[in-house]
């Protein structure tokens, strides 16, 4: 193992360098504080590897995304979402028999405890579905005590199956509740994504036939969103899990973090931005706002902490958008016209070129999901549904790591030095 030397206050400290399979090496600074009394400082974790992982690899400069070594475009093209779930969880693509068994095991957990229905009557009909998801996923730990002991691999596996299987059911329930329609129970004879579409859009009054083109497109969208290395919500799940919290609570924490508009909430924010722009002639006004340092407005769905090239998922997303709009006979979607024109202008603009800002996965997803019939408020719920397997795979990897300890970052303190109490009478 090679090493690096840093000099602190004239004292040289040797730190080991660890090599990865591919991608940047790391300087192991875990002994730095003990040897120097100093911390490193990296508030946004722009240069910090918080863990070792074998699950997902991103090369931001080249626009590469691999799940367990397989390129995202190949998985999206040839596989299905449950196959991707198996790959992320177990590290290898399943054989036909393994896939059939995995699909069967997930399918057997699609229903939720019937008393969960009562949670919904406590929410206002206009509650944001992400608020409902945070509440209900966290509440799963109140029902499934037989899968909260994280030291038991079998219980961890059952909890994982339950979350992958129940997220679509809870997401569909949140949607149905928001539109005042009765919940639709899962149909285990349908595939994972067709089952979800039926739970969202079927009504008791008539037969519902799943459109296979839309089901395939949404299944592919789930694959694109399944995992993404140590992003904010995954890091939240890992940190929550490092304290020994039960898996349902950890995933609820991940959902809460994903909700932010800088993260998974960007798909909802991006669509609202396109609707606000409205027509291509207003694009220059918004590009100017995005470039104005005094204006907090940002182009939602643009930019990424890691990708300084085109997000490979955005390309596949754009192709899927056209596929869905064609299937639905939507010839000219004004939102798509604005999005395509905005992308073309931004990618030629000096500001975006210099800052390496490209469309990310959230830029086109909203147009597709809206065309499928989902309200804007459900977009991040669908992101959370798909990302649940990534959170679980990363959480499991951490729990199974024998060197795992509770995560406890330190700080640079710039507050008041020690001072004595002053009574209210002395405060003037
Ligand atoms: C996701 O991490 C992941 O992997 C996340 C994700 C996943 O799958 O888990 O990929 C999913 O969250 C995608 C990102 C979705 N968010 C958005 O689309 C929101 C808009 N994007 C930005 O808020 C921003 O680009 C972030 C939050 C995504 C990244 O922020 P960074 O890495 O902290 O970058 P930054 O804010 O430091 O920006 C660098 C510069 C700044 O200008 P300067 O201060 O250097 O002059 O670029 C500018 C920013 O002002 N900038 C933008 C911009 N994004 C960055 N300017 C205008 N519009 C934007 N969208």
pLDDT at 326: 96
Residue identifier of the C-alpha nearest atom 47 of ligand 1? 355
What residues pair up with 7 in beta bridges, in sequence order? 12
What tokens appear for 28 in the block? 């192991």
Residue identifier of the C-alpha nearest atom 39 of ligand 1? 355
**Mean pLDDT computed over every residue of the chain:** 96
In DSSP notation, 98-142 reads HHHHHHHHHHTT----GGGHHHHHTS-TTS-HHHHHHHHHHHGGG
227: nearest Cα among 107, 65, 342? 65
How many CA atoms does the CB half-sphere of 173 hold within 13 Å? 26
Other C-beta atoms closer than 10 Å to the C-beta of 8 total 12
Q: pLDDT-based confidence at 146, cuts 50/70/90?
A: confident
308 lines ligand 1 (CB under 6 A): no
How many angstroms is it from 46 CA to the middle of ligand 1? Answer: 12
How many angstroms is it from 331 CA to the middle of ligand 1? Answer: 32
Per-residue pLDDT for 23 more than 80?
Answer: yes
Per-residue pLDDT for 407 more than 80?
Answer: yes
| Contact indicator for 324, 371 with CB cutoff of 8 Å | yes
Q: pLDDT-based confidence at 428, cuts 50/70/90?
A: confident
Residue 3, burial from CB neighbour count under 10 angstroms (0-12, 13-18, 19+) = exposed
> Which residue did the predictor score with more confidence, 11 or 19?
19
pLDDT at 86: 98
Regarding pTM above 0.85, the answer is yes
313 lines ligand 1 (CB under 6 A): no
Query: What are the catalytic residues?
Result: 304, 362
Report the 3 state secondary structure along 175-209.
HHHHCCCCCCCCCCCCCHHHHHHHHHHCCCCCCCC
300 lines ligand 1 (CB under 6 A): yes
371: nearest Cα among 192, 211, 169, 179? 211
Q: Helix axis angle, 379-399 relative to 232-242, nearest 10°?
A: 40
58 lines ligand 1 (CB under 6 A): no
What tokens appear for 23 in the block? 């991608």
Q: Which among 304, 306, 351, 388 is the best mutation to test ligand 1's pocket, defined by most ligand atoms within 8 Å of the CB?
A: 304
* Pairwise CA distance, residues 369 & 312, whole Å: 19
360 lines ligand 1 (CB under 6 A): yes
Other C-beta atoms closer than 10 Å to the C-beta of 1 total 7
| Contact indicator for 156, 247 with CB cutoff of 8 Å | yes
What's phi and psi for 102, nearest 5 deg?
A: -65, -45
User: Using one digit for the tens of pLDDT, what is the confidence trace for 159-187?
Assistant: 999 999 999 999 999 999 999 999 999 99
User: Using one digit for the tens of pLDDT, what is the confidence trace for 85-107?
Assistant: 999 999 999 999 999 999 999 99
pLDDT at 1: 75
| Contact indicator for 166, 107 with CB cutoff of 8 Å | no
User: Using one digit for the tens of pLDDT, what is the confidence trace for 219-272?
Assistant: 999 999 999 999 999 999 999 999 999 999 999 999 999 999 999 999 999 999
How many angstroms is it from 289 CA to the middle of ligand 1? Answer: 15
320 lines ligand 1 (CB under 6 A): no
Residue identifier of the C-alpha nearest atom 16 of ligand 1? 262
SS3 263: coil
pLDDT at 332: 86
Q: Locate the ligand 1 atom nearest the alpha carbon of residue 227 and give its number.
A: 8
Q: pLDDT-based confidence at 10, cuts 50/70/90?
A: confident
What tokens appear for 132 in the block? 């409902």
298 lines ligand 1 (CB under 6 A): yes
393: nearest Cα among 182, 237, 255? 237
């Amino acid at each position: 193992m090679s090493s690096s030397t840093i000099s602190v206050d004239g004292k040289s400290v040797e730190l080991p360098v660890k090599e990865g399979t591919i991608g940047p090496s790391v300087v192991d600074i875990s002994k730095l504080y003990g040897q120097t009394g100093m911390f490193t400082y990296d508030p946004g974790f722009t240069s910090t590897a918080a863990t070792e992982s074998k699950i997902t690899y991103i090369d931001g400069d080249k626009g590469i995304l691999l799940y367990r070594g397989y390129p995202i475009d190949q998985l999206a093209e040839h596989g299905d979402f449950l196959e991707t779930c198996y790959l992320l969880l177990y590290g290898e693509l399943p054989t036909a028999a393994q896939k059939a068994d995995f699909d069967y095991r997930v399918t057997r957990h699609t229903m939720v405890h019937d008393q969960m229905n009562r949670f919904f009557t406590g929410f206002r009909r206009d509650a944001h579905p992400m608020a409902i998801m945070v509440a209900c996923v966290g509440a799963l730990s109140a029902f499934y005590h037989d899968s909260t002991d994280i030291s038991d691999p079998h219980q961890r596996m059952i909890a994982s199956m339950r979350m992958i299987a129940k997220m679509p059911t809870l997401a569909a329930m949140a949607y149905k509740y928001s539109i005042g329609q009765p919940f639709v129970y899962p149909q285990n004879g349908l595939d994972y994504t067709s089952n979800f579409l039926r739970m969202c859009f079927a009504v008791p009054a008539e037969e519902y036939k799943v459109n296979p083109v839309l089901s395939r497109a949404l299944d592919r969208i789930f694959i694109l969103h399944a995992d993404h290395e140590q992003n904010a919500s995954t890091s939240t799940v890992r940190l929550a899990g490092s304290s020994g919290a039960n898996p349902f609570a950890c995933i609820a924490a991940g959902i809460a973090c994903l909700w932010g508009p800088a993260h998974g909430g960007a798909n909802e924010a991006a669509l609202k931005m396109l609707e606000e722009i409205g027509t291509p002639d207003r694009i220059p006004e918004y590009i100017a706002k995005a470039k104005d340092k005094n204006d907090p407005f940002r182009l939602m769905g643009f930019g990424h902490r890691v990708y300084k090239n085109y997000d490979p998922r955005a390309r596949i997303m754009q192709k899927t958008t056209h596929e869905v709009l064609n299937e639905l006979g939507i010839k000219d979607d004004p939102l798509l016209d604005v999005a395509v024109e905005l992308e073309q202008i931004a990618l030629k603009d000096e500001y975006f070129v210099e800052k390496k800002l490209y469309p990310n996965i959230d830029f086109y997803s909203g147009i597709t999901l809206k065309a499928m019939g989902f309200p804007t408020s459900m977009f991040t719920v669908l992101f959370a549904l798909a990302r649940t397997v990534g959170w679980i795979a990363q959480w499991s990897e951490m729990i199974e790591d024998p060197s795992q300890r509770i995560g406890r970052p330190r700080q640079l303190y710039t507050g008041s030095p020690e001072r004595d109490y002053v009574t209210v009478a002395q405060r003037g």
